[in-house]
Structure 1
Amino acid sequence: MGAAVIWFENVQRHDIARVGGKNASLGEMIAALSSSGIEVPNGFATTAVAYWRFIDANGLRAPIGALLRKWESGKTSLAETGAAIRKIILGGRWPTDVEEEIITAYRSLSRMLDVGEASVAVRSSATAEDLPTASFAGQQESFLNVVGEGALMDACRRCYASLFTDRAISYRKANAFDHMKVALSVGVQQMVRSDLGGAGVMFSIETETGFDKVVLINAAWGLGEYVVKGVVDPDEYRAFKPLLADSACAPIIQKRLGTKTSKLIYGDSGAPTRGVPTSAEEQASLVLSDAEILTLARWAVALEEHYGCPMDIEWAKDGDCRIYIVQARPETVQARAAPGLLPTYRIGKKGRLLAKGLAIGNGIAAGPVCLIDRPEDIGKFVDGAILVTTTTDPDWVSVMKRASAIVTDHGGRTSHAAIVSRELGVPAIVGAENATEALRSGDVVTVSCAEGDEGFIYEGRSEFKAETISLADIPETRTKVMLNLADPQSASRWWRFPADGIGLARMEFVITNAIQIHPMALVHFDRLKDRTAQERIAALTAGYPEKTDYFVDQLSQGLARLAAVAYPNPVIVRMSDFKTNEYAGLCGGAEFEPQEENPMIGFRGASRYYSPKYRDGFALECRAIKLLRETMGFRNVVVMIPFCRSVTEAEKVLAVMAENGLKRGVDGLEVYVMCEIPSNVVLATAFARAFDGFSIGSNDLTQLTLGVDRDSEDLAASFNEEDEAVKWMIAKVITDARQAGTKIGLCGQAPSDHPNFAAFLVECGINSVSVTPDSFVAVKKAVAAAEKAR
């Protein structure tokens, strides 16, 4: 007849038919990965045999089958059918021998843990669950902090009943699973005291873009159920997988603090768990240390390698900071994505910003808002509307399927709303905080998840365009075609492009959006005269006793997300190139910037780096690059100096860089110069001795060659990058650079706008062309055609 109970250590992943996907995976990890240092709490599983013995002992096959047939024939509703089946299962009695086996195993587990009655997690594990093609995410019940034999048997019975929740019945029907051939196993696992620590979910792949070189981790205080259900907005961390094997590297490329306003802990007065507010200190603190982030990330890589596919993993940390893996299953959304196709969306004219949160997916949808406060009101939902609510759980799946987009106040990338919306292919914004207050039913809005990590909700119907790029249609070229990228949040959207690296990574974008503070205002924080700015800086840098560390951390992490996309190809990071008026716009910046009549050719670029007015700020930029290259391990990062007017100025900048630990040639560090001033062309041979490469900035070079302000409406017709004088300058510097054996590329807009210009560059013998992602395919094809014509 078969055993009713089996210990995890005796289960392997091919035992899904016996103990379900979840329990089979737990056994596989204990048996195969314990030697790798991965810790999994001990426990046992009831088998499919035990389930069928329970069903048959109570004579339930026939009535369950009859109830399902009535529903399928349209005689009863799904809700009526599910409720009726659950009722008869909950009224069933345990066969004596099955109950004895479960209780005997529970007593053994309690003795192993040296307690009278163990606290256990009781989790459902269906025999058609956690497959690579069907996740059944969150459809069956789990119960935490179950203590005592009676409570355990009751929890196991409730798990059986949860095989027939409305959502589970409809999901099996949609995926053609026979209801009467799916059994349920129950996992009984030692509870991790994460109520005293923290818990969360991680993926061995980036969930929105499928970028396969990143581990994504969500974390919150307390038991992990609040993360999965989307009750809290968790911390979010990213680690770069290719560098994790090097113990000398700490490739943590993002640490985002979540609000984490509440947590789930052990209950009292008979309730196994209860929710409580978190303290101000907990809300202001990261759940995981750097060492813990790296440990989890390395475990994720080990699990992925063992299972041979991207993984969705739940983890928990107890009060002694000991970390465990409590579940692991194949990732199901990106695994089904067409590998050779890249769907892209571009948003054009848009209305007023109403709310924002974390973007799930990369789509855009427009339509009327349908605000639903409670699950009981789901029947009021209008098909095709944008569902707006505080949070979702599996009871919401039926209405989520009918929505054109989903918006929730709470939740992270691993919350229920995020997981289900990905499976459905519906764009969603989670953790929008005030969406239910800012949006009203009936109002038409646009939900945009196509602008990076953040998702935005705009008033009215925005203009947007959708297209699918076939990667197979992109030709190979001898000339390197690279990307111009600035926004770390959207960079991983383009990881599938066959780009030869990043030809221009704009540091100032990260400073403006992620840091927001003038670096000199951090250096001289205590001396700031602007009290409003001082208060804002104090809020932005909370958690940083040394204010300058905030700048270094945020800048290095932002640049790391760019470097990760191109690794191991080169990533050319241009040091800050703000004009004085732009610097003054940063928080606290007005006190440190002169007012200039013409900032375009004023105190900018290289001249700032050795000046007493900015030298300390430049030192922070150097510290961030040093951290990026040496601590994180991104040796593919190349430094580029903008607006360098003379060779003497170049020597001063290189000396200051060396003082700050960035010496050209040491540890493979290359330093390039922007070629955007006529003097860079005239003295190209001398500049080639000072630098390892040139990057032609065709916009500024055109302005200064023709004496035309590109922003002047009256002179718009005169600004022409294809002017013969400009082309002569470009051809001349390419020739001189090639003769000097120095690399040279172009990172201006011209090749993106004019295919003939790309052909001109190829004819001149340029090494590389760097363009914006939206023109990458067209430029790649133009370069290939030009190479073929030569």
Structure 2
Amino acid sequence: MNDDELLTLSKWAMIIEDHYGKPMDIEWAKDGKTGDLFIVQARPETVHSQKDFAVLETYVLEEKGDLLVQGEAVGSKIGQGKVNIIESAANIHQFKEGQVLVTDMTDPDWEPIMKIAGAIVTNRGGRTCHAAIISRELGIPCVIGAGDASERLSNHQEVTVDCSQGTGNIYEGNLKYHVETVKLDTIPETKTKIMMNAAIPEKAFQQAQLPNDGVGLAREEFIINSHIGIHPLALLEYEKLKKITEDNPKIAKVIETIDKKSAAYDDKVTFFVETLAQGIAKIAAAFYPNDVIVRMSDFKTNEYANLVGGFLYEPEEHNPMIGWRGASRYYDEKYKPAFGLECKAMKKVRDEMGLTNVKPMIPFCRTPEEGRKVIDVLNEYGLKQGENNLEVYVMCEIPSNVILADQFADIFDGFSIGSNDLTQLTLGLDRDSDLVAHIFDERNDAVKRLISQVIETAHNHTPRRKVGICGQAPSDFPEFAEFLVEQGIDSISLNPDTVAKTRINVSEKEQNIAVATA
């Protein structure tokens, strides 16, 4: 299908819906010989159109059962199903839709079955681990850091996973629960922009129905992992790798996988650029004309290595969390051509598709010098600040971003505080370590002082720079969101399931401040 054909189908669909005056389920066909398009059936749509997205759901457990395992809750939903304990991603084919996934810890390789799980339980991990982030995006109840869950639970055991109480509880059996709803059209407006964290293009149009002011964090890496799955350098060197397949079975397997995943594309680089652009565009279109801030890829070396062909290009680091990631990769000659593909996708979204509400954001930028180098690379690939209203943001997630905020403000158009990494690096701990997880707290005074400092510096800069936050803290702690409002933050970006509640809390806080200063 080409763009003209898609536009033709879209126009026909609009004509049909205008004629019937209601959402329609429309079937079409394309003649394999002539290429002619036909509408073959149209009937009223009775599934999605009947859903009321303007409601807030609250899950309430009606009874208590035998508590089997306890951990940290992610989200506020309740899920049920049969336990399926899977120790390795190599065995994910054994998982069936609706089961409760129990494992030690997840990474991007687990995402295909996470999407169909009734609930997720992991032995290890904190609020910012992979399982927590993905389950929030999917709206699936998840309990993390459950210790020995994979030993205490049994395969095929019926359980209820309850995340509605703040603590993650796994109970024996299928317990009764109900869902309370609140109409979102009663949710108040706020001076502080309430934005949303988004990563899954397929859910963007549904999430956009929530009261929001745009997307404060759209993660590229989820699109790359789920829809591409191949290391960009392997695509760039596809022809070179093809020549050495006979002598290397591992590389032959890489080429075989690339051919399978990109079968519709003769040019493998085009496959990467267009697939990434389509994912970004779907999110941008869903929230248009509100801003959609897209974080450029922030895989760590071990995560890049998990992509097809990644083992050919990624070094083995002792601590990838603070290693070769973010901005330091973008201007490095070893990775710069791969970053160029991201830039081409971004330019396609903005300049060809017309979605100028998209703003690229640079993660893990350690120094102003790095920032200038990245801006130069963006310019090289046609992404020039100010051209076509392009703004470039930077993540504020390293203490140096705060200490030198005035210098970063000379380079970038805005800041987005990443409270997860900022807390980790301020308190000097590994946020994925269970041993120090109890110390990880964005509400620590040291972290809050840094946040206050960067907001003040950015707002006093000429020109004034906007500051938002896209970390986990405002979603988890209402009092932290209130603190941000007190500091005058411009926007708060949240997981979809906490947008409505936080908007209500922020509105009340803004009213209290207005009364106190009147």
Q: TM-score, normalised by structure 2?
A: 0.74
Structure 1 position 320 matched with structure 2 position 34: yes
CA distance in 2: counterparts of 1:708 and 1:339, whole angstroms: 40
Find 1:742's aligned residue among 465, 469, 474: 465
Structure 2 CA distance, aligned partners of 1:492 and 1:356? 28
CA distance in 2, matches of 1:506, 1:324: 37
Question: Aligned match of 1:769 in 478, 487, 492?
Answer: 492
1:703 maps to what in 2? 424
1:563 aligns with 284
| Secondary structure, aligned partner of 2:434 | coil
Residues of 2 paired with 1:514 and 1:335: CA distance?
A: 27
1:562: Cα distance to partner? 1.7
In structure 1, which of residues 560, 579, 584 is the aligned counterpart of residue 300 of structure 2?
A: 579
Counterpart residue number, 2:433: 712
Determine the structure 2 residue equivalent to 1:385: none
Residue in structure 2 matching 1:634, options 355, 368, 372: 355
Find the counterpart in structure 2 of residue 489 from structure 1: 202
Equivalent in the alignment of 2:66: none
- The answer (yes or no) to whether the contact 1:695–1:744 under 8 Å persists in 2 is yes
| Structure 1 residue 320: Cα displacement | 2.7
Q: Which amino acid letter does the alignment assign opposite residue 786 of structure 1?
A: K
Instruction: Tell me the amino acid that sits aligned with residue 665 of structure 1.
Output: G
Farther off after superposition, 510-519 or 345-354: 345-354
Equivalent residue number for residue 539 of structure 1: 260
Contact kept in structure 2, 1:452 and 1:491, CA below 8 Å = no
SS at match of 1:694: strand
Q: Which runs of 5+ in 1 are unaligned?
A: 1-287, 367-428, 430-447
CA contact (8 A) 2:53 2:206 kept: no
Structure with greater Cα Rg = 1
Shift of 1:314: 3.5
Show the counterpart of 1:656: 377
> Which residue of 1 is the match for residue 221 of structure 2?
508
Aligned with 1:596 (options 280, 298, 317) = 317
Aligned to 1:724: 445
Residues 624, 326 of structure 1: alpha-carbon distance in 2 compared, 3 angstrom cutoff:
same
Contact 2:420 2:442 in 1 (8 A): yes
Distance apart, 1:659 and its partner CA: 1.1
CA contact (8 A) 1:452 1:489 kept: no
| 1:296 matched to 2:9 | yes
Counterparts of 2:186 and 2:459, CA distance in 1: 31
Give the alignment partner of residue 788 of structure 1, picking from 504, 511, 514. Answer: 511
Q: Give the superposition deviation at 1:304.
A: 2.5
Most deviating of 321-330 and 761-770? 321-330
Q: What's 1:549 paired with?
A: 270
Pair 492,343 (structure 1): closer, same or farther in 2 beyond 3 Å: farther
Q: Which residue of 2 aligns with 1:684?
A: 405
Q: Percent identity?
A: 52
Q: List per-residue Cα deviations over 1:99-124 (Å, max 9, x = no partner).
A: xxxxxxxxxxxxxxxxxxxxxxxxxx
The whole-number CA distance in structure 2 between the counterparts of 1:559 and 1:462 is 37
1:538-591 per-residue CA deviation (whole Å, 9 max, x = no partner) reads: 211112211111111221112222222211111110000011111111110011
Contact 2:30 2:36 in 1 (8 A): yes
Sort the Cα spacing of 1:339 and 1:557 in 2 relative to 1 into closer, same or farther, 3 A.
Answer: closer
Select between 774-783 and 544-553 the one with higher mean Cα deviation. Answer: 774-783
Aligned positions of 1:332-351 closer than 5 A: 332-338=46-52, 340-341=54-55, 346=77, 348=79, 351=83
Q: Distance in 1 between matches of 2:138 and 2:2?
A: 30
**Alpha-carbon separation, structure 2, partners of 1:503 and 1:451:** 17
Give deviations 1:691-733, integer Å, cap 9, x for gaps. Answer: 1110000111111112122222222222221111111100000
Aligned partner letter, 2:478: P
Alpha carbons of structure 1 residues 536 and 744: separation in structure 2 relative to 1, 3 Å: same
Cα distance in structure 1, aligned partners of 2:79 and 2:53: 27
Report if aligned partners of 1:452, 1:490 keep a CA contact under 8 Å in 2. no
Whether the 8 Å CA contact 2:211–2:500 is kept in 1: the answer is no
Once the two structures are superposed, what CA deviation does each residue of 1:595-647 show, in whole Å capped at 9, x if it has no partner?
Answer: 11221111110010010111011011111111112222211111000011111
Change (3 A) 1:587 1:764: same
1:180-233 per-position Cα deviation (integer Å, ceiling 9, x unaligned): xxxxxxxxxxxxxxxxxxxxxxxxxxxxxxxxxxxxxxxxxxxxxxxxxxxxxx
Map of 1:241 onto structure 2 = none
Question: Post-superposition shift, 1:461?
Answer: 4.3
Paired residues in the alignment total: 413
User: Secondary structure of the equivalent of 1:297?
Assistant: helix
Could you tell me how far 1:674 is from its partner in structure 2? 0.2
Superposed, 1:134-533 pairs within 5 Å as: 288-318=1-31, 319-338=33-52, 340-341=54-55, 346=77, 348=79, 351-352=83-84, 451=138, 461=158, 463=160, 467=179, 468-528=181-241, 530-533=251-254
CA distance in 2, matches of 1:349, 1:613: 47
Looking at structure 2, the residues matched to 344 and 553 of structure 1 have their Cα atoms a distance apart, in angstroms, of 39
**Contact kept? 1:701, 1:726, Cα under 8 Å:** yes
Q: Secondary structure at the match of 1:718?
A: coil
- Partners of 1:743 and 1:767 within 8 A in 2: yes
* Structure 2, unaligned runs of 5 or more: 60-76, 85-91, 101-115, 117-134, 141-154, 163-177, 242-247, 514-518
Corresponding residue SS for 2:315: coil
Per the alignment, in what secondary structure is the counterpart of residue 438 of structure 2?
A: helix
Comparing 305-314 with 564-573, greater Cα deviation is found at 305-314
**Aligned amino acid, residue 657 of structure 1:** L
**1:789–1:517 CA distance, 2 compared to 1 (3 A):** same
